[in-house]
Amino acid sequence: MPLLDLAAETGRQFTVDREPGQYLGHPTTVLLEDGRTLLCVYPLAHGGGPVQLKRSPDGGRTWSPRLPVPDNWKTSKETPTIHRVVDAAGKRRLIVWSGLYPARLSVSEDDGANWTPLTPAGDWGGIVVMSSLAAVRGELGHYLAWFHDDDRFLHRDSVQQKPVVFHLYQVESRDGGLTWREPREIFAASAVKLCEPGVVRSPDGRQLALLLREESREQPSQVMFSRDEGRTWGAPRPLASTLTGDRHTARYAPDGRLFVAFRDTNRQSPTNGDWFGWVGTFDDLVQGRPGQYRVRLRHNTKGWDCGYTGVEVQPDGTFIATTYGHWTKGEMPYIVTVRFTLAELDAKARRLPGAAQP
């Protein structure tokens, strides 16, 4: 499959945050409706640790200092995530989640200028809450969100059993993200350890797909589909090996193609452990096809420790991908943004033998 490489193209790369001796990791982002303003949240540690907030006014080229946040954001135990939600009256909100037990959320109703403290969403918890979120079609203010657990954090008294079972959970909100119902299990297994679901909707709006990391690394990444807005889900099945990786984040280009960012964990891949993207179509996911091409966004110099990615798309089709990694050998990981368009990638792909033309 054609492989593009942006790792050396420093003109595309912008530093979000970097501090000598400090681990910076696991960011997620949201692009506001002006198409320029980007918010990024991330912890000062691996997964857990005090949650930081930064803002970019120009699509990720420049970033503010670390912004004031509620004091109890320091108590976050897990990877934070940020999402845009809108209620039935059209009121826009931002939500920051912090997982493990209990799952907590913080709300802003002024595009991130002010936030409520982190507050439990209920008597439940989980891992990477919420790894993805989607609006229910045709119902303003109605949202679904997904996370996973391995019997450690769903309840206060949870006890992990052997063999370890990985559970996928779905929760919903009908009031624009202010309150959330109890989690509903949609899949559980020990033979295949599925986690960190990343949602993408089909171009016609009729299907939801969850792209899934396989934690044991003994099987490829998987996908599950729903044709009834998450009421039921088909059994998971393998994705093409070109999508084997962790923490898939998918966004559409204006021409209808998909870009999926992830950490490359394919043991047969020469770029194993690097920050990667995949370009293809939703139908490629359905049919299990390899896609059009892959692109290395940055080379990670230490193991697999990179690649939890926020991906946004500006109105002109520019992708803004943001993640952490060990970008400089011997240094702690830090957070960067890479900007590109699929037209730019297509031009590179046309110069490689064997590339399928868009």
Cβ neighbours of residue 72 under 8 Å, at least 6 residues apart?
A: 117, 118
Other C-beta atoms within 10 Å of 150: how many?
19
**Tokens matching residue 216:** 């044991």
First to last CA, the chain: 14
Query: In this structure, are strands 127-135 and 119-120 parallel, antiparallel, or unpaired?
Result: unpaired
pTM: 0.96
CA 145 to chain centre: 12
Tell me which H or E stretch contains 208: strand 208-214
pLDDT at res. 61: 98
Q: Is 170 exposed, middle or buried (0-12, 13-18, 19+ CB in 10 A)?
A: buried
CA distance 238 to 222: 4
CA atoms of 224 and 226, how far apart (whole Å): 7
Residue of 61, 56, 68, 70 whose CA lies nearest to 14: 61
The reported pLDDT for the residue numbered 307 is 94
Q: How far apart are CA 54 and CA 87, in angstroms?
A: 25
The pLDDT value recorded for residue 358 is 44
Cα separation, 133 vs 83, whole angstroms: 7
Contacts 24+ apart (CB under 8 A), 342-345: 342/253, 342/255, 342/257, 342/259, 342/279, 342/317, 343/317, 345/4, 345/279, 345/293, 345/295
Residues with Cβ within 8 Å of residue 70, at least 6 apart in sequence: 106, 115, 116, 117, 118
Q: Which helix (H) or strand (E) holds 259?
A: strand 258-264
Cα→Cα distances 208→131, 174, 243, 256, Å: 15, 18, 17, 16
Radius of gyration of the chain (CA): 19
Question: Would you call 321 exposed, middle or buried from its count of C-beta atoms within 10 A (0-12, 13-18, 19+)?
Answer: buried
Q: How far apart are the C-alpha atoms of 179 and 300, rounded to whole Å? A: 38
CATH assignment of 3-350, given 2.40.50.140, 2.60.40.2470, 2.40.10.340, 2.120.10.10? 2.120.10.10
Residue 66 in contact with residue 52, Cβ under 8 Å?
yes
The pLDDT, as a whole number, for residue 35 is 98
Q: Say what the pLDDT of residue 3 is.
A: 95
- Could you give the CA distance from residue 213 to residue 194 in angstroms, rounded to a whole number? 6
What pLDDT does residue 269 have? Answer: 87
pLDDT tens by residue, the chain, 358 residues: 899 999 999 999 999 999 999 999 999 999 999 999 999 999 999 989 999 999 999 999 999 999 999 999 999 999 999 999 999 999 999 999 999 999 999 999 999 999 999 999 999 999 999 999 999 999 999 999 999 999 999 999 999 989 999 999 999 999 999 999 999 999 999 999 999 999 999 999 999 999 999 999 989 999 999 999 999 999 999 999 999 999 999 999 999 999 999 999 998 888 999 999 999 999 999 999 999 999 999 999 999 999 999 999 999 999 999 999 999 999 999 999 999 999 999 999 999 875 554 4
pLDDT at 354: 57
- Nearest residue to 308 via CA among 215, 265, 243, 246: 246
Domain chopping of the chain, boundaries: 3-350
